[in-house]
């Protein structure tokens, strides 16, 4: 299949490369000309602007927008809608607020243009590992796009099958699902990121306590100068708390045991806030996720080693740079 990718940042470029590796064709556009040129050298087709994309695509045209949530995505989708024809498909693969998806899908449908929201997880490792995707949109449209999603997904890999799982739709085992109508994909991804906040905060606080065990505030016989990189490494192997986030923590600590290259000023990209907001709307208690969100707010005022661990994990999976100021 041939697809247009608008936005060639850390994930957009990786998605294009993975698709081309699987035999798909890509038409690419970004405001950064160098990003376009790099992918053209690898076989992509360049577009000079949004108005140049449609003529280089098949019917129906498929546009994948991989830009920051908010105005950049909103304006780009509005511009694409002006160039699209009936039956064309616009995909938003960023971290858009799911209620915006619902609104857009309704507006685009009135023009005959289909809309699909894809919550995409994988960060800078997606090209190698594949992208976990949570998809919202009409059944027929999502099915039409399945060759693209199948190529991007991690696949069955080496993960053992879940015992007793009766699965008619094997897509979940391959690393992607059709979650429901427009907005459902980004809603599931939003909760995924909210949980991510909580998991990261638990690791971060745990390592901060380990580091603090050598504090001179403790009785001398109770002080331990613990090797954090060895602890992270041993926990990766057979421990009940092993995970990819722990893998990334171990990698960061192996390179920089005191994480001096990380500021500890931890950003949030919106999904944690939206997750807490959804919990409030549904009257669902979300103590851990709410605390994790507010810990990020606090990190911008008073930094701790836990904040540096969070920064290291965010750099590991997403390439988010939070350098000392």
- Cβ partners under 8 Å of residue 277, min gap 6: none
Q: Could you tell me the pLDDT band of residue 169, with boundaries at 50, 70 and 90?
A: confident
Mean pLDDT of 6-11: 95
Cα(290)–Cα(273) distance, integer angstroms: 8
Q: Could you tell me the pLDDT band of residue 324, with boundaries at 50, 70 and 90?
A: low
| Contacts of the segment 293-300: beta carbons below 8 A, 24+ positions apart | 293/194, 293/197, 293/268, 295/201, 295/266, 296/197, 296/266, 296/267, 296/268, 296/272, 297/268, 299/264, 299/265, 299/266, 300/265, 300/266
Output the furthest CA–CA distance in the chain (Å, rounded): 75
* Active centre residues (catalytic): 189, 196
Mean pLDDT of 133-160: 96
Express each pLDDT in 241-284 by its tens digit: 999 999 999 999 999 999 999 989 998 878 999 999 999 999 99
Express each pLDDT in 89-142 by its tens digit: 999 999 999 999 999 999 999 999 999 999 999 988 999 999 999 999 999 999
Q: Could you tell me the pLDDT band of residue 167, with boundaries at 50, 70 and 90?
A: confident
Cα(165)–Cα(143) distance, integer angstroms: 23
Task: Please name every residue paired with 63 in a beta bridge, in sequence order, or none if there are none.
Answer: 4, 90
User: Which range (3-7, 162-166, 241-245) has the least confidence?
Assistant: 162-166
Cα(37)–Cα(76) distance, integer angstroms: 21
Q: Which helix (H) or strand (E) holds 132?
A: strand 132-136
Express each pLDDT in 292-310 by its tens digit: 999 999 898 878 899 999 9
- Ranges of beta strands (E only) in 217-309 are none
Task: Count CA atoms closer than 13 A to 21's CA, side-chain side.
Answer: 13
- Cβ partners under 8 Å of residue 282, min gap 6: none
Q: Could you tell me the pLDDT band of residue 323, with boundaries at 50, 70 and 90?
A: low
Mean pLDDT of 151-164: 90
Q: What's residue 166's pLDDT?
A: 78
Query: CA nearest 197: which of 318, 89, 111, 112?
Result: 318
Q: What's residue 160's pLDDT?
A: 87
* Cβ atoms of residues 28 and 39 within 8 Å: yes
3-state secondary structure (DSSP) of residue 112:
coil
Structure tokens at 304: 């701790």
Cα(122)–Cα(155) distance, integer angstroms: 13
Q: What's residue 76's pLDDT?
A: 98
Cα(29)–Cα(321) distance, integer angstroms: 24
Express each pLDDT in 24-65 by its tens digit: 999 999 999 999 999 999 999 999 999 999 999 999 999 999
State pTM to two decimals: 0.91
Q: Could you tell me the pLDDT band of residue 170, with boundaries at 50, 70 and 90?
A: confident
Mean pLDDT of 1-21: 97
Exposure pattern of 46-72 as b/e (b: 16+ CB <10 Å)?
ebeebeebbeebeeebbbbbbbebeee
């Amino acid at each position: 299949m041939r697809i247009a990718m608008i936005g060639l940042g850390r994930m957009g470029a990786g998605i294009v490369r993975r698709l081309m590796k699987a035999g798909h064709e890509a038409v690419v556009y970004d405001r950064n000309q160098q990003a376009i040129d790099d992918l053209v050298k690898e076989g992509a087709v360049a577009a000079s602007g949004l108005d140049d994309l449609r003529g280089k695509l098949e019917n129906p045209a498929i546009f994948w927008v991989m830009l920051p949530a908010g105005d950049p995505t909103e304006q780009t989708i509005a511009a694409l809608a002006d160039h699209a024809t009936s039956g064309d498909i616009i995909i938003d693969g960023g971290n858009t607020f799911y209620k915006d998806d619902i609104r857009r899908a309704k507006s685009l449908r009135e023009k005959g243009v289909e809309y699909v929201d894809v919550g995409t997880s994988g960060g800078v490792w997606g090209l190698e590992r594949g992208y976990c995707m949570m998809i919202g949109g009409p059944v027929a449209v999502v099915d039409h796009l399945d060759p693209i999603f199948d190529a991007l997904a991690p696949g069955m890999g080496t993960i053992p099958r879940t015992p007793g799982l009766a699965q008619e739709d094997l897509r979940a085992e391959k690393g992607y699902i059709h979650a429901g109508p427009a907005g459902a994909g980004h809603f599931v991804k939003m909760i995924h990121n909210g949980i991510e906040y909580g998991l990261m905060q638990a690791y971060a606080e745990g390592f901060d306590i380990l580091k603090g065990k050598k504090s001179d505030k403790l009785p001398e016989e109770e002080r331990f100068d613990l090797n954090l990189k060895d602890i992270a490494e041993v926990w990766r192997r057979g421990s009940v708390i092993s995970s990819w986030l722990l893998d990334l923590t171990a990698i960061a600590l192996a390179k920089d045991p005191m994480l001096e290259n990380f500021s500890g000023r931890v950003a949030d990209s919106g999904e944690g806030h939206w997750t807490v907001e959804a919990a409030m709307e549904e009257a669902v208690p979300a103590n851990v996720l709410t605390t994790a969100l507010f810990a990020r707010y606090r990190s911008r005022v008073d930094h701790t080693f836990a904040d540096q661990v969070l920064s290291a994990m965010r750099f590991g999976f997403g390439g988010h740079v939070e350098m000392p100021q």
